[in-house]
């Protein structure tokens, strides 16, 4: 693995709509890498290659309003694994690559972050104003506090961990997990497959939870004005907080559990599943 610093400074192709500027999308495509995203008070995007690996080259280009970092490893990434706390990636034609030997990239972006990731990427995002992130593949992402809203999608076996945010839209497709410390606004969570969404606390106007498959959505604490929960399959939805009203629907063997509902409760169950409210007004 070589150590070098290569810098690309790319003007963000902003779209101006109604006086508001939208920053360019950053796409990390078919890559095996370590990535740090640093949101800053800037309008351009700066890509720095801190370390490289000749077996895992990365190219940088722009297309429209997108900055693309391409590993060109489509269908060659076999798996991510962790043994004894040490992560590695297996790539066809390359073999097993340890975490320390992955190329390291720093991406400096505007405070409103729009990020698409595919491959086997281990990443971190610093504090931002707003965040849209989608991760397809394996790898792990750690995300700092977001002042505004978050839209996060995880497809595959990867994981996301994030701090506090305003409103949140969280989607999992596959076996991956998404965990959030605090949501101070509306929360929408969707799980399709065996993955999980876990939120430590939500305080806001609404909580919408939908599970299709065997995955789980768990909110450990909080208070919302209205909650709706839908389960199709064997998955579970659990809210260990207080809802003003509840609409719950189950098709299959899954369960919906809510600690307290102050107002109305509407239930619809087809199958062996169960809707349970521990405390109802």
Domain count, the chain: 2
For 102, the domain range is 1-109
Whole-model pTM: value is 0.91
pLDDT at 23 over 60: no
Per-residue pLDDT reduced to its tens digit, 83-140: 888 999 999 999 999 999 999 999 999 999 999 999 999 999 999 999 999 999 999 9
DSSP 3-state percent helix, strand, coil across the chain (nearest 5): 0, 75, 25
Q: Are residues 161 and 50 located together in one domain of the fold?
A: no
In a domain, 36, yes or no: yes
In a domain, 116, yes or no: no
In a domain, 115, yes or no: no
Per-residue pLDDT reduced to its tens digit, 143-197: 999 999 999 999 999 999 999 999 999 999 999 999 999 999 999 999 999 999 9
Q: Are residues 86 and 164 located together in one domain of the fold?
A: no
Take residue 209 and report the two structure tokens written for it.
Answer: 């939870």
In a domain, 268, yes or no: yes
Q: Rounded to the nearest 5°, which phi and psi values hold at 101? A: -95, 5
pLDDT at 19 over 70: no
Take residue 238 and report the two structure tokens written for it.
Answer: 């659990």
Rounded to the nearest 10 degrees, how much is the dihedral formed by the CA atoms of 144, 145, 150, 155? Answer: 20
Strand 20-22 and strand 77-83: pairing?
unpaired
């Amino acid at each position: 693995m070589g150590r070098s610093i290569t810098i690309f400074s790319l003007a963000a192709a902003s779209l101006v709509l109604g006086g508001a500027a939208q920053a360019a999308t950053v796409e990390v495509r078919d890559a095996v890498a370590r990535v740090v995203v640093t949101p800053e008070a800037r309008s351009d995007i700066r890509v720095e290659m801190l370390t490289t690996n000749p077996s895992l080259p990365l190219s940088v280009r722009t297309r429209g309003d997108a900055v693309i970092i391409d590993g060109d490893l489509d269908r060659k990434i076999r798996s991510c694994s962790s043994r004894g706390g040490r992560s590695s990636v297996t790539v066809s034609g390359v073999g097993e690559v340890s975490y320390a030997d992955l190329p390291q990239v720093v991406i400096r972006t505007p405070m409103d972050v729009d990020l698409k990731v595919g491959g086997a990427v281990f990443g971190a995002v610093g504090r931002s104003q707003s965040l849209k992130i989608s991760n397809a593949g394996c790898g792990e992402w750690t995300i700092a506090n977001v002042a505004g809203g978050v839209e996060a999608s995880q497809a595959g076996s990867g994981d996301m961990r994030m701090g506090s945010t305003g409103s949140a839209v969280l989607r999992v497709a596959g076996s991956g997990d998404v965990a959030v410390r605090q949501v101070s606004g509306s929360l929408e969570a969707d799980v399709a497959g065996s993955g999980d969404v876990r939120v430590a606390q939500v305080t806001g106007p609404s909580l919408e939870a939908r599970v299709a498959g065997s995955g789980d959505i768990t909110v450990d604490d909080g208070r919302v004005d209205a909650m709706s929960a839908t389960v199709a399959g064997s998955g579970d939805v659990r809210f260990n907080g207080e809802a003003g009203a509840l609409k719950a629907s189950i098709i299959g063997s899954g369960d919906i559990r809510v600690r307290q509902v102050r107002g109305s409760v509407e239930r619809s169950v087809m199958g062996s599943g169960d809707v349970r409210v521990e405390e109802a007004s």
